[in-house]
Structure 1
Amino acid sequence: MNLPSPSPWWRPDIHQDRRPFLEARGRILKAVRAWFDDRGFVEVETAGLQVSPGNEAHLHAFQTEALGLDGARRALYLRTSPEFACKSLLAAGEQRIFEISKVWRNRERGRLHHPEFTMLEWYRAEEPYESLMADCALLLALAAEAAGRPALTWRDSTCDPFAEPARLTLAEAFEDFAQIDLLATIATTGATDRDALATAATAVAVRVADDDTWSDVFSRVLVEKVEPNLGHGRPTILHEYPAAEAALARRKADDPRVAERFELYACGVELANAFGELTNATEQAARFEAEMAEKARVYGERYPIDPDFLAALQIMPEASGAALGFDRLVMLASGANHIEQVLWSPVAEICP
């Protein structure tokens, strides 16, 4: 038989070019673990196989199958995040935890996306989500110091990891970069006005299809008009997401149109996503059902809702949690221009 050509990653010359990025990865990993340990966090290890991979409409998982001793078959999924398990540990009594783990997301591949990647998640029980904003700022500086570089870089953008992040609400960002009054399209109940947002988006040359939902239009404006402007020069924290775009976050007490969710950006790249966690199990179940109905409408499939997680949520304390894409952080801190440069063993491309 004819032997296949080896993947380019295993050629010594190419591996040698990647090695500085991989060495930086190791230093950043060691520094992050020490940082959390110094602050009294417990490192946890949760299962990669889950009953539900997550219940967000546009999140895609890898499905597998478990065989019982009696031959019975049961669908399981590779986790898209350790979130459900970590929150269950908070319900069990843990106070400060973090996990650095492999997660899997299907339909994702590109300079910033890989089907298997590393997620850093951490949780603070009985602490506000503003605490996580401070954590994110410190972690950026930590990564740059460990990599031995003075700035975060991506393509032609530079970001000072030691600068205080700018804080911008979604309403402010839509007004500043798209001239759209976002909150005018959201009722106090959280209900959204699709036509009002579509009209505003069309006026600023954002394409809107007849079958687009409010969420579709929101996402397109965010991607086209807002995100390219974030995290240049210094990091940006984009916060107070519409409640309709924060399925796992609690609503803000002073404005129920928005939720306690923020994202961290550097060099135009989204690095972290954080919540003031929703702990109302009944409301969470309803949100999951709505997300899965939308997934079924768009993709013709839905994922199960994990009853064990909902049961844990009933006794989970108030908490805040963040998820940070570790590989992306390493990329920006080390100067890599593709996510596969910072992965020791990239997953092979799907061949036609």
Structure 2
Amino acid sequence: MKPNTPWWSPDRHADRRPLLLARGRIQAAIRGWLAVEGFTEVDPVALQISPGNEAHLHGFATSAIGNDGVGRDMYLHTSPEFAMKKLLAAGETKIHAFAHVWRNRERGALHSPEFTMLEWYRVGEGYEQLMEDTVGFLRLAVSAAGSRELRFREHSCDPYAQPERLSVAEAFERYAGVDLLASITADGTVSAARLARELDAIGLRRAEDDTWSDLLSRVLSEKVEPHLGMGRITILDRYPAAEAALARRVAGDQRVAERFEVYACGVELANGFGELTDPEEQRQRFGLEMDEKERVYGERYPLDEDFLEALKIMPAASGIAMGFDRVVMLATGAPRIEDVMWVPVA
């Protein structure tokens, strides 16, 4: 079949259809589990005041024109997070959503500008429970797909094996020989110069104007991620607080936060937090993130003041976002995200 054959070609659709039917079975299996566990499915609207306030997430902007003909800047959300946390403030305690989300500047084998995110929250429960949930969902996915393993290209991962859990600092030491925590002070302040010396020592290229975050991302993508989720699931835990804008800090160690990511076959599948509920600290972190976005990309997004107000009464909770299309990809062995989307983005 020619590479430029459209997705709606009958022959190509016939090739893709088994993957799409597996997608439906996986979604039904996860929905069924969530229902039995007492979760309420919610349906957040996508049009928001802010698409999210993380420096390297890019939203799609639009204008909402009122009855008076006046336009107001709005965005398609990059995650249903703000809306779902408002529901927690309203009194919901166990909620989930299969939400379409939009992220600009993202296209490739693992990225689509529009994709489906499974997000769920538990009030009054630690973020370790979310780790168990995610591993359970990956096992449900391979079972519903009629497989025994997760696969991406030449890599495989057994979701039934005991997951590996290690901190970001441990992963940096193991796979890159980098002492990450040496570049973070006791209050969480980071030093780019200190981390740069670590990169120089292992011969990893860098630019003179790289920030601490740039350096961390380079080590993570080039040295660490290729080793994660090989043979068994990896839970990468305790991100530096400077890389966890929406997560609370770990009690007793202000350098790191209750943030983790789940990997299989070198692919990041989920990103979870023990949620930050201090509105003033959240405002400060958002400000730093938007300063960085403006420095790098020349733009910044507004803050959702309604969200910051809701944080004042939001209870302690844990929450997580999982890339549903990626899970389907790995459960079916599909090579590209568009292979498991009923209608790919043109």
TM-score normalised by length of structure 1 = 0.96
Deviation per CA, 1:198-235: give whole Å up to 9, x if none.
11112222211011100000001000000000001000
1:66 to 34, 55, 64: 64
Query: Is the CA contact 1:137–1:164 (under 8 Å) kept in the aligned structure 2?
Result: no
Q: Percent identity?
A: 63
2:340 partner letter: V
Report 1:1-352 matches (<5 A). 8-348=6-346
Deviation per CA, 1:153-189: give whole Å up to 9, x if none.
0011110011121001011000000101111110111
Task: Find the counterpart in structure 2 of residue 3 from structure 1.
Answer: none
Question: Where do 4+ consecutive residues of structure 1 move more than 6 Å?
Answer: none
The SS at the match of 2:258 is strand
1:160 partner letter: D
For 2:38 and 2:203, locate their aligned partners in 1 and report how far apart those are by CA, in whole Å. 49
Two-structure CA RMSD over aligned residues (Å)? 0.8
Deviation per CA, 1:304-345: give whole Å up to 9, x if none.
000000000110000000000000000000110000000010
Deviation at 1:7, TM superposition (A): 6.1
1:177 partner letter: Y
For 1:314 and 1:212, locate their aligned partners in 2 and report how far apart those are by CA, in whole Å. 36
Deviation at 1:150, TM superposition (A): 0.7
1:342 partner letter: V
The runs of 5 or more residues in structure 2 that have no matched partner are none
Deviation at 1:112, TM superposition (A): 0.1
For 2:29 and 2:252, locate their aligned partners in 1 and report how far apart those are by CA, in whole Å. 38
Query: Is the CA contact 2:5–2:12 (under 8 Å) kept in the aligned structure 1?
Result: no
Count the aligned residue pairs: 343
The SS at the match of 1:9 is coil
The SS at the match of 2:219 is helix
For 1:10 and 1:141, locate their aligned partners in 2 and report how far apart those are by CA, in whole Å. 31
For 2:61 and 2:238, locate their aligned partners in 1 and report how far apart those are by CA, in whole Å. 33
The runs of 5 or more residues in structure 1 that have no matched partner are 1-5
Query: Is the CA contact 2:7–2:13 (under 8 Å) kept in the aligned structure 1?
Result: yes
Query: Is the CA contact 1:154–1:267 (under 8 Å) kept in the aligned structure 2?
Result: yes
2:275 partner letter: E
For 1:78 and 1:206, locate their aligned partners in 2 and report how far apart those are by CA, in whole Å. 37
Deviation per CA, 1:81-126: give whole Å up to 9, x if none.
0000001100000000000010000000000000000000000001
TM-score normalised by length of structure 2 = 0.98
For 1:84 and 1:208, locate their aligned partners in 2 and report how far apart those are by CA, in whole Å. 35
For 1:240 and 1:316, locate their aligned partners in 2 and report how far apart those are by CA, in whole Å. 23
1:84 partner letter: F
1:247 partner letter: A
For 2:80 and 2:5, locate their aligned partners in 1 and report how far apart those are by CA, in whole Å. 30
For 1:269 and 1:202, locate their aligned partners in 2 and report how far apart those are by CA, in whole Å. 27
1:256 partner letter: Q
